[in-house]
Structure 1
């Protein structure tokens, strides 16, 4: 798993690449919270190959923290098999999503 952060005028864009699972979820969560200064975050999952329940928890924790602080969280670029995981878990009904980074930034 690799994570890259891009700061724009509107949001911090978090690029996830690889697998987000129980072996790295705690480290990923820690790194995200160390790097999001903005109240708005776009999580670009276009290069995410796999997500486990531990990974889903990370996404939910980040989204809820931003919501409590009055920020926005948009999940973008979900590949079909990753979208299915979010759909089955019920997360698509509680998280804002966009087709790609540009659409997510426009939504913010």
Structure 2
């Protein structure tokens, strides 16, 4: 798993690449929580993620909760169809803000 950091508007963007699974979830969690520590907004760009396991879902949920507590924003952008399906089947599409593009996700923070 690679994490490429950038910005879109005022939001920080974590562009994930590879699999978000048991092997990669701890590193992704650490990095996302660090990005959220100052209360800013973070977009997780899943355009290059082709697989998300339950461990990966847990990371997204934990980051979303931390963002709420810290007064920041958290959104997911551009999930591949297979990843979107996992998000929908698990009900995470009702918990997380999911946007078609990175820019749309960043714009959602206002």
Establish whether residue 16 from structure 1 lines up as the match of residue 30 from structure 2. Answer: no
Q: Report SS of the residue matched to 1:23.
A: coil
Q: Which residue of 2 aligns with 1:32?
A: 32
What are the residue-to-residue correspondences of 1:50-69 with 2, within 5 Å?
Answer: 50-69=51-70
Q: Which residue of 2 aligns with 1:99?
A: 100
Q: Report SS of the residue matched to 1:12.
A: strand
Which stretches in structure 1 are left out of the alignment for 5+ residues? Answer: none
Q: Give, in whole Å, the separation in 1 of the partners of 2:10 and 2:83.
A: 26
Instruction: Say which is worse superposed, 47-56 or 28-37, in terms of deviation.
Output: 28-37
Q: Which residue of 1 aligns with 2:83?
A: 82
Stretches (4+) displaced over 2 A? 31-38
Q: Give, in whole Å, the separation in 1 of the partners of 2:88 and 2:61.
A: 14
Q: Give, in whole Å, the separation in 2 of the partners of 1:7 and 1:82.
A: 23
Establish whether residue 4 from structure 1 lines up as the match of residue 7 from structure 2. Answer: no
CA contact (8 A) 2:9 2:106 kept: no
Number of matched residues? 108
Which stretches in structure 2 are left out of the alignment for 5+ residues? Answer: none
Q: What value does the CA root-mean-square deviation take over the aligned residues?
A: 1.3
Per the normalisation by structure 1, the TM-score is 0.92
